[in-house]
Amino acid sequence: MPSSDTRDKIVAAALATFVEKGVASATMQAIRERAEVSNGSLFHFFANKQSLCEAVYLEGVRDYQSGLAAQLDQGGGARDVVAAVLRYHLEWTEGNRDWARFLSERGYTGWGEDLARQVEQANTALMSTVSAWVRRHVAEGTLKPVLSPEVVVATLLGPAQLLCRAWLASESAAAPTTHLRELVAVTWSALAA
């Protein structure tokens, strides 16, 4: 039976192939060859390109969100957490350029119901963590009490995502982390009570 290491190799090969060739032009054969696995191993884990593409997307979402949630769960003041979240987002994007590009370009609209359900569950879990963090810091008087968790996320990550997308689209744009200090200052001024 193929191992989880084999599955990880297939997912990594698929990600690289999807980013390099585009999902439409990528073939299962090209992915299999890049992963250096047999047809049996490939199809043991993934019945078709759609299921593999969905797995790549979901794994990227889960990896990113688990790290983001960990930043929100850490101790410290609200401003320190804002800085940690922004640093994480920028560093994750720089360190996972292919995944960041794939996630920002693909979205999950129109994909299978199973993927939509799993992404919704991941998003709900993340928003639960955000909501708890917001409630705690509103109660402490450090965050504006009028902000919903959705607006906090948009304020926290929106400007950083715009910078990251510009960087992903251009080889000449400055690395997102070069803007960390400014992003923290602007974001904190928008969120602080």
What is the phi/psi pair of residue 67, to 5°? -70, -40
Regions of the chain with pLDDT less than 50: none
Domains of the chain and any CATH numbers: 1-47 (1.10.10), 57-191 (1.10.357.10)
What are 111-164's pLDDT values in tens digits? 788 998 999 999 999 999 999 999 999 999 999 998 899 999 999 999 999 999
Burial profile 71-99: b = 16 or more Cβ within 10 angstroms, e = fewer: bbeeeeebbebbbbbbbbbbebbeebebb
Say if residues 108 and 116 touch (Cβ distance below 8 Å). Answer: yes
Q: How many residues does the chain have?
A: 193
Query: pLDDT value at position 110?
Result: 64
Say if residues 70 and 44 touch (Cβ distance below 8 Å). Answer: no
HSE of 3 in the Cβ direction (CA atoms, 13 Å)? 2
Say if residues 187 and 155 touch (Cβ distance below 8 Å). Answer: yes
**Which tokens go with 86?**
């922004």
Query: pLDDT value at position 173?
Result: 81
Query: pLDDT value at position 171?
Result: 78
What is the phi/psi pair of residue 13, to 5°? -65, -40
pTM metric for this prediction: 0.93
